[in-house]
Amino acid sequence: MTTEAKPSPRERLLSAAATLTYREGVGIGVEALCRAAGVSKRSMYQLFESKDELLAASLEQRTARYVAALLPATEDDRPPRERILHVFRQMEAQSGTPEFHGCPYLAAQIELKDRNHPASRVARQVKQNLTGFFRAEAERGGANAPDLLARQLSLFFDGAAARAGIGADTLTGLVEPTVTTLLDAAGMR
């Protein structure tokens, strides 16, 4: 008989922060986070200097999983156009699930307002990396203005994720034609 090790208090706090802030927002209280994690406030403050640090660590911890669920693998040899479309197909598929509340990184930035907040800095880096991915693929695909296309794709990604996240729209049948139009207008191969 094997027994699984119980997650550490740190792991439980990071998991609770990820779940609760995504579902309820970054304004969730320390008491609710600690209760969900089964950890005392004293323990939380021994592990993290502040709730802000916990939020930043939680966003950072889930970045690899977020990127893996969204971006094509590095060794994926499809053409740049298909690699960009892959991102939007993934977002569209994720947006169709009941637990989808939009992009957690965009939501954190919007809710926090403070660009210097530790969690906002993590979120900004993730969003900049996505724009960087779009830019690199646009360059490889021969787009006539790769920087502009990358910014347009990021704008559409964030807007589509936000609208789907608040239930204002469904993305089915909307995402691919819109992205295709942007790629075609940029001369993307």
Contact 103, 162 (CB under 8 A): yes
pLDDT at res. 2? 58
How confident is the prediction for the chain on average, in pLDDT?
A: 95
Question: For residues 161 and 156, what is the distance between their CA atoms, to the nearest angstrom?
Answer: 8
**Orientation angle between helical segments 80-95 and 175-185, nearest 10 degrees:** 160
pLDDT band at 3 (very low <50, low <70, confident <90, very high): low
What domains are there in the chain, each with its CATH number?
Answer: 9-49 (1.10.10), 63-185 (1.10.357.10)
User: pLDDT value at position 4?
Assistant: 72
Distances (CA, A) of 112 to 33, 49, 163: 17, 18, 19
pTM of the model: 0.92
pLDDT for 66-103, tens place per residue? 999 999 999 999 999 999 999 999 999 999 999 999 99
